[in-house]
Amino acid sequence: MATLAGGGEDPSAEVLTEAAAAFGLLASAARLHIMWALSQGESDVTHLADRVGGALPAVSQHLAKLKLAGLVRSRREGRRQVYYVDDPDIVTVVRVMVGQLTARTAPAAARGPVSGMP
């Protein structure tokens, strides 16, 4: 394995494949919104669908994919299935990415439209 500039080893092909699969799942705006919502706290599918503005069956399918990939977990509370992110590192990745992009777009929005543009 090659050594990175910081002195660490390159990740294995298996780790890179798993990471690419996780990022691939998060490449969907709907799934990323669900992950963002769950990074704020646990929720059932009905409340998630309301929050992200998705149809209940579609949100359920997204949750099933995220759960299968190990990005979210669930537990039963009576008749409800409650979803949550159990990995603080995943929460950090989602919050950092969304936070950085929000910070980048905020100054541009504050400046208003570009001269000559509506």
**17-26, 59-68, 72-81, 102-111: segment of lowest average pLDDT:** 102-111
Three state DSSP letters for the chain: CCECCCCCECCCHHHHHHHHHHHHHHCCHHHHHHHHHHHHCCEEHHHHHHHHCCCHHHHHHHHHHHHHCCCCEEEEECCEEEEECCCHHHHHHHHHHHHHHHHHHHHHHHHCCCCCCC
Output the pTM of the full model: 0.76
Kindly report the average pLDDT of the chain as a whole number.
86
% of the chain beyond a pLDDT of 70: 84
The whole-number pLDDT of residue 108 equals 63
Greatest mean pLDDT among 3-7, 77-81, 107-111 lies in: 77-81
- Residue 1 has a pLDDT of 46
Q: Which of 6-10, 52-56, 71-75 has the lowest mean pLDDT?
A: 6-10
